[in-house]
Amino acid sequence: MKSITDRIEIWHGNGFITVKDKIENIVYSLGGPSFEIGNEAVKLENAANARLVRERALPNGGNETEMDMRFDNAPGLALHVVTQSFPGSPFVRMRYELHSEKTVALTKSEGRDSIEYFTLQVPKSKVTEIQLSSFNPLVHSYNPWRDLKSQGDLALGCEFPGPIALLEREGLSFFAAYEHGAEAPDSYLLFGANEKDSQTSLALRARKGNYYNGEEIGPGKPFRSPWFHFAASPGTEDLLRHYRTFMLKYICEQGESRKPYIYYNTWNNQERNRCIKGIGYWDDMNLPRMLAEIEKAHALGVDVFVLDTGWFEKSGDWNVDTKRFPDNLKEVKGKLDEYEMRLGLWLNPLACALSSKTGQKLEYRLERNEKFVSNEIWGTEESWCMCIATGYADILIEKMIELRETLGATYFKWDGISQYGCNSPNHGHGDLSNSPQEREECYSYRMGLELTRVVQEVTQKYPEVIVDFDITEGGRYVGLGFLQAGKYFLINNGPYASDYDLPKMDIPTNMLAVNLDPYTNMFFFPGAARSRLCRQGAKYDGLVPSTLFLTHFLPDKPAISQRNALASLVLGGNGIWGDLVSLDDVDVKAFAENLAHYKLSADSATQSYPISRGYIGSSPEIYEKLNEEDGLGFVAFFAKAKGVYTHVTRKLNNGACGKIIGADAAEEAEGGRIKLTVKLEADDARIVYFVPVKEE
């Protein structure tokens, strides 16, 4: 049976799945999955029939089809296969559920997961792994990287976590990916690739935690796979451009998290209070201070105002601390509404205070080695850690919906969520017959899936809600999985002194801020260095839009630091934090004017495929974010060395070109391009904006 969109045709059957790209006239097939059931391998292929179960139009413009597939070699088993395709896109998104008419058990006869999710075989091709979750301690940030597998690797057969695999040969490239996450090289799924008889084969397999030995499936209890992505194209560059659009517009049904809002978060000022002024993190978390910050945030051009830790009485209940906000945040919300700004709130979604209502539910508490686990949440009452792989996920959904409805919050920053934690035999991710390690691996696999489900449930009811997952530390659920529902908070203040093996030193108390304590961040301060460090999100932009990697920049003097912060911010980080109340009129004007220019073309810049020159810290370091169709966007220049720098833009179609602001010189060049010239001081930065031309 076949499902059709404007570009893609998908056949279910004749093996497993066959896809045709009608524009490029490319056809490729996926081999079906295999499972170990009752200690016997079962491969589902050569479907006997496929029946349409459901079809729906997606809110993002895509089309979703659900098919029921049955197989002659596996009576009683069925796959419910969900495929999604999108306007003009070569990408197919797919997942499936394994159903059984009678109760059977998934097993691990060799002591490890035994699922092969799909296979792909193509003519001899180069194989490249793309990782998204390599944590670099020198910048204290996740970074993407590519690894081309050698012929020796492929001849022997190799495995790698991905989550993206490229198969490339002259005139034809294939793309495969999966939605999950972990800090590389840790992973829960693995690609396997090999080369034999002029053929390259790619398979995606379970590595660990995808199920526990003896896990039952049966009526009303299916096994569900993660989502997978596939595409083919004559060239890799075309694939990557389409994939960026897919990640921006289509992987997430609700598009609010993709929009280039400007975010402000109170945490940096709270941290300055503690580290520089020697007062408490929460001393400024009160109604008068927040109203003053809202005024400055509005003047700067902020869209989303986020109250970090301290707004609440206790975790778990997440009620407003009425000693700090006697009116239950009503005046804060009213002032934000007046300025058309949005309210955001910090949460540790897995923390519930010892005395909170949810914290009393023993069946949801995270257990490790038969003990409940607790920790301190920034000076508030000690909190139980909760197991998200239990029914607690549904309680969290209800609480977030309640915060949306009672306080009007439409943004949530999730913090403090580690990959591992629970090895309880009582939570449905393994029992006493499974080892503690297996139970924890199963928890950590499900943890990210459940967090994503929470966001999907909340945003389905309230599409305007954005959830931001803090990945400012290692050991987090980083990959493609969470991006189907939300976005990431990429960098806090960067490395700690300990990341550079610097010893603890005794520093006078009046220099507390620069105390090289192993637990102290090194990049609190204005200047070019912090902005260089915090531009890591731009490294993702050719594949995953950098607007999905929130990072905050400092608005402090001197002016050269402000220029670095602004030129870095517009690359996709889109965040500001600091002591806003201390900013003078000159500071406010510098940010307000720049952000006003940025907002005139931010949507076009976000949609544009990036072009970059140099590397972070080079002279020059240039990022072009211009939309070929409407000629809007910007070019950001950075330089370590003083000099005059030029850049010739991409071709702007049909002579489209916005009004140019910020260049020392701009002239038309051959082929619909623009030559820009800027003069920079040492460690300087400049943004050249292309904004709409106002009609007279």
Query: What confidence score (pLDDT) does residue 695 get?
Result: 46
Domains of the chain: 2-250 (2.70.98), 611-691 (2.60.40)
pLDDT for the residue numbered 4:
64
pLDDT for position 514? 46
pLDDT of 515: 46
For tokens 């799909």, what's the residue?
118
Whether the CB-CB separation of 135 and 186 falls below 8 Å is answered with: no
b (16+ CB within 10 A) / e for 158-196: bebbbbbbbbbeeebbbbbbbbbbbbbebbbbbbbbbbe
pLDDT in tens, 333-385: 999 999 999 999 999 999 999 999 999 999 999 999 999 999 888 778 999 99
Q: What is the pLDDT of residues 96-128, one digit of tens each?
A: 999 999 999 999 999 999 999 999 999 999 999
Nearest CA among 273, 330, 258, 206 for reference residue 581? 273
Closest CA to 462 of 408, 393, 391: 408
> Is residue 478 within 8 Å of 162, Cβ to Cβ?
no
Output the pLDDT for position 513.
Answer: 46
Tell me how far apart the alpha carbons of residues 558 and 683 are, in angstroms, rounded to a whole number: 12
Environment class of 675 (CB within 10 Å of its CB; exposed 0-12, middle 13-18, buried 19+): middle
d(C-alpha 389, C-alpha 366), whole Å: 9
Going edge to edge, which strands form the sheet with 383-385? 351-353, 383-385, 374-375
Q: Which structure tokens are listed for 318?
A: 């997440």
The pTM score is: 0.95
Segments of the chain scoring below 70 in pLDDT: 1-4, 504-519, 695-696
Q: What is the pLDDT of residue 604?
A: 97
- Predicted pLDDT at 512: 46
CA dihedral angle for residue 120, residue 124, residue 130, residue 131, rounded to 10 degrees: 70
pLDDT per residue as tens digits for the range 69-91: 999 889 999 999 999 999 999 99
